[in-house]
């Protein structure tokens, strides 16, 4: 811009001064050693203007000459970048259509020149995993994790692929460091919950459920289903240490959890397995005071007690209930059998199997018939029980 303004200024001066100097042109003499050059002022001004433009042309040519290498490099760089974009696009299409070998080749080949190499490495890792190429997959994942923005995306993909390959512990190892920086990331937490479930890390899963519900990543129904899966498994783990750790854990649970019939029944089953029948009977009676659920009633006959009367008295206090009548009769009949009140047990168990047949009741009925030496009828009951378990 400055050069154009200078040129316009010179032209304006020439147009203004030219007519005034036409009759008095004057001259300019330049002496250089033995050489002397003379010319009019107008001619000198013209030579100066032409010399100025000559210098501009020379500057332009020199600039173009020295920038030729840079522009050549830029041209090749742009060409490589354009090819990388085309390969990446074709790679994604191949991945989407299941051509994993082609997808891996294209993604990996264009990663170095891609504008977003992280996406290329992630795509190549998915394609390699789909082909069962574990080493290649891990190599691509390492490249992705080394990218400044790749820790979360790479970690999530690594964990998801590990879960797909039934390696939940490896998936947890990938996600644990990420939780310190992304404690509320929805996708990370959901994947972490799946990995804990697959790995059978029940207490960690139990501890995570309130956060998942608070962030609305799980519905209350889904939380309840996971609780009914995680707590019984946790009870089984604690039972390996004995009945007291299990009872301490149960007492430490929140009241709404202890009121869940499925969890109470699961805890009682573990206590019965540990031969802690008195503790199991206490938990059962506490639960049966609230409701006579079949899950609790079915455990009454499995108890081995010195005194069944408190439990039997509680069951006898219930009024008729069409929905749970069979389970109630079965529980009372089995307790009477253990108390050796055989006539009463026979009456109750026969009513129970009429309403809802079950193998345990048929087995006891068969034993009662044997005691009366009614072997044909005993065989009938035994056969009926076997048919239910077949």
Residue 77 binned pLDDT confidence (cut-offs 50, 70, 90):
very low
pLDDT at 137 > cutoff 50: yes
**What pLDDT does 274 receive?**
97
The string of pLDDT tens digits covering residues 313-350 is 999 888 766 678 999 999 999 999 999 999 999 999 99
Is 161 inside any structural domain? yes
Considering 201, 218, 235, which residue would you say is the last residue of a domain?
Answer: 218
- pLDDT tens, residue by residue, 49-69: 677 677 777 777 777 666 555
The predicted pLDDT at position 79 comes to 61
- Across-strand partners of 376? none
Report yes or no on 279 lying in a domain.
yes
The answer to whether residue 145 sits within a structural domain is no
Residues 230 and 210 sit within 8 Å (Cβ to Cβ): no
Diameter of the chain by CA atoms?
157
Question: Both 116 and 178 in a single domain?
Answer: no
Same domain, 226 and 244: yes
Same-domain pairing of 123 and 160: no
Domain-embedded: residue 40 = no
Shared domain for 314 and 371, answered yes or no, is yes
Q: Which of 207, 288, 208 is nearest to 253 (CA)?
A: 207
Is 203 part of any domain? yes
Q: Quote the CA–CA distance of 114 and 12 in Å, as a whole number.
A: 55
103 close to 95: Cβ distance less than 8 angstroms: yes
Q: Looking at the structure, tell me whether residues 372 and 316 fall in a common domain.
A: yes
pLDDT tens-digit map of 152-195: 999 999 999 999 999 999 999 999 999 999 999 999 999 999 99
Task: Determine the pLDDT at residue 75.
Answer: 43
Domain identity same for 226 and 278? yes
112 and 170 together in one domain: no
Residue 310 · residue 320 · CB < 8 Å: no
Q: Look at residue 138 and tell me if it is in a domain.
A: no
On whether residue 296 sits in a domain, the answer given is no
The mean pLDDT of the chain is 86
- Contact assessment for residue 352 and residue 330, using Cβ atoms and an 8 Å cutoff: yes
- Scanning the structure block, which residue is given the tokens 């394609």? 127
Domain that holds residue 117: 87-129
Query: Which of 218, 248, 273 is the last residue in one of the domains?
Result: 218
The verdict on 316 and 388 lying in the same domain is yes
- Count structural domains, the chain: 4
Question: In this structure, is residue 11 part of a structural domain?
Answer: no
Phi-psi region of 307 (alpha: psi -120 to 50; beta: other; left: phi over 0): beta
Q: What's the DSSP call for residue 30?
A: E
What pLDDT score was predicted for residue 76?
A: 44
- 270-284 per-residue burial string, b: 16 or more CB within 10 A, e: under 16: bbbebebbebbbbbb
């Amino acid at each position: 811009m400055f050069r154009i303004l200078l040129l316009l200024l010179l032209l304006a001066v020439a147009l203004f001064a030219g007519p005034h100097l036409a009759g008095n042109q004057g001259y300019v003499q330049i002496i250089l050693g033995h050489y002397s050059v003379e010319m009019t002022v107008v001619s000198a001004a013209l030579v100066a203007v032409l010399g100025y433009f000559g210098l501009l042309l020379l500057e332009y040519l020199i600039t173009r000459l020295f920038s030729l290498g840079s522009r050549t490099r830029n041209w090749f760089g742009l060409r490589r970048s354009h090819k990388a974009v085309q390969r990446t696009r074709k790679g994604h299409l191949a991945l989407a259509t299941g051509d994993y070998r082609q997808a891996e080749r294209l993604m990996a080949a264009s990663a170095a020149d891609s504008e977003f190499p992280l996406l290329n490495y992630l795509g190549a890792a998915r394609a390699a995993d789909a082909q069962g190429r574990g080493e290649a997959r891990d190599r691509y994942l390492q490249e992705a994790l080394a990218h400044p923005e790749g820790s979360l995306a790479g970690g999530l993909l690594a964990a998801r692929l590990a879960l797909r390959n039934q390696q939940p512990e490896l998936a947890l190892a990938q996600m644990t460091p990420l939780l310190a920086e992304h404690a509320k990331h929805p996708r990370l937490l959901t994947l972490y919950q799946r990995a804990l479930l697959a790995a059978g890390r029940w207490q960690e899963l139990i501890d995570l459920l309130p956060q998942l519900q608070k962030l609305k990543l799980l519905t209350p129904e889904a939380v309840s289903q996971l609780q009914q899966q995680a707590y019984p498994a946790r009870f089984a783990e604690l039972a390996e240490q004995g009945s007291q750790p299990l009872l301490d854990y149960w007492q430490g649970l929140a009241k709404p959890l202890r009121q869940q019939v499925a969890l109470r029944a699961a805890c009682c089953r573990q206590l019965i397995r540990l031969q802690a029948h008195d503790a199991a009977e206490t938990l059962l009676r506490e639960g049966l005071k609230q409701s006579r659920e079949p899950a609790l009633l079915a455990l009454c006959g499995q108890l081995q007690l010195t005194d069944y009367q408190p439990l039997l008295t509680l069951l006898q206090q219930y009024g008729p209930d069409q929905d749970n009548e069979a389970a109630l009769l079965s529980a009372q009949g089995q307790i009477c059998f253990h108390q050796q009140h055989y006539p009463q047990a026979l009456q109750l168990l026969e009513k129970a199997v009429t309403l809802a047949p079950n193998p345990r009741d048929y087995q006891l009925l068969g034993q009662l018939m044997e005691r009366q030496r009614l072997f044909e009828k005993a065989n009938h009951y035994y056969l009926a029980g076997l048919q239910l378990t077949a």
